[in-house]
Structure 1
Amino acid sequence: MDAKAAAKDIKQGKISPLYVLYGSEKFRMNEFAAMLEDQLIAKEDRDFAVIPFDLSETPVQAVVEEAETVPFMVPRKLLLVRDASLFTAGKENAKLEHRVDVLNDYLQHPVDYSVIVFMVNSDKLDERKKIVKAVKSTGTVLAFNPLGAEELLRWVEKGIKDRGCMAAPGTAEALIANAGTGLQGLTGEMDKLCLFAGQGGTVDTAAVESLVHRGTEQNVFTLVEDIANLRLDKALNTLYELLKQREEPIKIAALIARQFRMILQVKDLSALSYSQGQIASQLGLHPYAVKIAGEQARKFGTDRLRQILSALADLDYQMKTGAVDKVLGLEMFMLKLGA
């Protein structure tokens, strides 16, 4: 079951006694937990009904004991349990003894007045553990991985629409290019843009460019994109903007090298018929970054990419040994690249 299907079941009153949420997308995980809280617990009951735990400080048997305790003044309790490393391959806190057998016994006969939500700080669960098999058979296990490239675009467009605004063509792409792929950051920027556009207004790329600040990595991404499209004047403007922000030239060169290395890796793996998702998993990248790197890769040959990386390695050596002025070295590199 995925998060969307689980959310649909919850809204229809089909509640699991236990949920295990895991994955790298912490924002969506927290969003799901908040939705569950909204659906199960009335606002006036939350002081008594929503009980947080941290397994780095509290043994799991204490969570089970609380779940089995009849609620006071409320019809149902929601137990939010963080740092649930007992479901992963990582080492557990040696200072605490987690009696997993107590949780396993509880799963055989869970009470109907408590819902336990374990939030696991890991990309995957340890399938070898008995407790993981037990929660899969009794409860609901949900993975929260990064959205695919197209899913992320739709998520941004829906987010703008849900705020009472319309997104002009290209707005979602521009927003991601400026703000990055982090959902928390994108949420804040959408709030700001829709406040600027007003209820029923339209958010366009001009608003994104004027209101959304680009971080160093996003600026380097734009710089490489401009180089790939032979817009050398815009690429140099981005470089000078980074230097105005007192970014270290060696750091800028390293980020440019990382982007070109990513483009080469994506190109090589695409040639081996790897899918976008497989490449993202293999390289530890967001699927949207893989999508853009794939588009950039089509504008460079493999040999040309290797030459660029070799030139960047030489530039790094010269900058660090003082053989060339750092800013001048970057300018010369970009002019040669543009030529």
Structure 2
Amino acid sequence: MDAKAAAKDIRQGKISPLYVLYGSEKFRMNEFAAFLEEHLIAKEDRDFAVIPFDLSETPVQAVVEEAETVPFMVERKLLLVRDASLFTAGKDNAKIEHRVEVLSDYMQHPAEFSVIVFMVNSDKLDERKKIVKTVKTAGTVLAFNPLGAEELLRWVEKGVRDRGCEPAQGAAAVLVANAGTGLQGLSAEMDKLCLFAGKGGIVDAAAIESLVHRGTEQNVFTLVEDIANLRLDKALNTLYELLKQREEPIKIAALIARQFRIILQVKDLSAQSYSQGQIASQLGLHPYAVKLAGEQARKFESQRLRQILSFLADLDYQMKTGAIDKVLGLEMFMLRLGA
């Protein structure tokens, strides 16, 4: 089951007695926990009915004991349990003795008035553990992995609409290009943009360019994109903007090299018929970054990319040994690419 199907079940009143949430997208995990809280517990009851735990400080048997205790003044309890490393391959905190068999026994006859949500800080669960097999059978296990490229854009568009505004055509892509793929950062930027646009207002590219600060990595990506499209004037302007922000030229060169290396890797893996998701997993990148790198890769031959990386290796050596002025070296590199 995925998060969408689980959310649909919750809306229909089909509640699992236990949820295990894991994955790299902590923001979406927190969103799901908030969604569950909203649909299970009345706002005025949350002080009594929502009970937080941290397994780095509390044994799991204490969580089970609380789950089995009849709620006071409320119909149902929601137990939010963080740092649930007992489901992963990592070692549990030696100071706390977790009696996992107590949780296994509880899962055979869970209390009707309690819902337990375990938040696991790991990209995967340890499938060899008996407790993982138990919760998969008796509870609901949900993975929160990075959104695909198109999913991310739809998530941004939905987020803007949920805030009472309307995204202009292409605005989601511009926002991701400026703010990156981190959902926490994107959410904060959407709050700001919709506050600026006002209720029912339009969030467009002009507002995004004006209000959303572009980080160093986003600027370097834009710089490489401009180089690929032979927009050297724009690429140089981006370079000078980075230098105004006191970014170290060696760091800029390293980030440019990293982007060209990603482009080459994506191009090579695509030629071997790897899917976008497989490439993202193989390289440890967000699927949206793979999508954009794939678009850039179509503008270069593999041999040309290797040549560019060789230029950058030489430039790095010259900059670090003082054989060339750092800023001049970057300018000459970009002009050489344009030529």
TM-score by length of structure 2 reads 0.99
User: Take 1:305 and 1:43, find their aligned partners in 2: how far apart are those partners?
Assistant: 56
Give the structure 2 partner of residue 317 of structure 1.
Answer: 317
- Deviation per CA, 1:59-86: give whole Å up to 9, x if none: 1111111111111111111100011111
Give the structure 2 partner of residue 179 of structure 1.
Answer: 179
2:278 equivalent to 1:262: no
Give the structure 1 partner of residue 128 of structure 2.
Answer: 128
Give the structure 2 partner of residue 327 of structure 1.
Answer: 327
User: Take 2:317 and 2:111, find their aligned partners in 1: how far apart are those partners?
Assistant: 65
User: Take 1:10 and 1:201, find their aligned partners in 2: how far apart are those partners?
Assistant: 32
- Deviation per CA, 1:274-316: give whole Å up to 9, x if none: 0000000000100000000000000000000001111111111
Q: Secondary structure at the match of 1:141?
A: strand
Give the structure 2 partner of residue 3 of structure 1.
Answer: 3
Which shifted more, 294-303 or 70-79? 70-79
2:89 equivalent to 1:89: yes
- Deviation per CA, 1:202-255: give whole Å up to 9, x if none: 111111111110000100010001111110000000000000000001110110
Give the structure 2 partner of residue 211 of structure 1.
Answer: 211
Shift of 1:172: 0.8
Name structure 1 gaps, 5 residues minimum.
none
Give the structure 1 partner of residue 336 of structure 2.
Answer: 336
User: Take 1:207 and 1:159, find their aligned partners in 2: how far apart are those partners?
Assistant: 16
Q: Where do 4+ consecutive residues of structure 1 move more than 6 Å?
A: none
Give the structure 2 partner of residue 69 of structure 1.
Answer: 69
Q: Secondary structure at the match of 2:258?
A: helix
- Deviation per CA, 1:6-50: give whole Å up to 9, x if none: 011111111100000000000000000001001111111111111
* Letter of the 1:289 counterpart: A
Shift of 1:93: 0.9
* Letter of the 2:52 counterpart: P
- Deviation per CA, 1:138-189: give whole Å up to 9, x if none: 0000000010000011111111122222222111111000000011111111
* Letter of the 2:51 counterpart: I
Give the structure 2 partner of residue 57 of structure 1.
Answer: 57
Give the structure 1 partner of residue 119 of structure 2.
Answer: 119
User: Take 2:212 and 2:332, find their aligned partners in 1: how far apart are those partners?
Assistant: 30
Give the structure 2 partner of residue 193 of structure 1.
Answer: 193
Equivalent positions of 1:156-175 (< 5 A) are: 156-175=156-175
User: Take 2:256 and 2:129, find their aligned partners in 1: how far apart are those partners?
Assistant: 43
Give the structure 1 partner of residue 242 of structure 2.
Answer: 242
Q: How large is the Cα RMSD of the aligned pairs?
A: 0.8
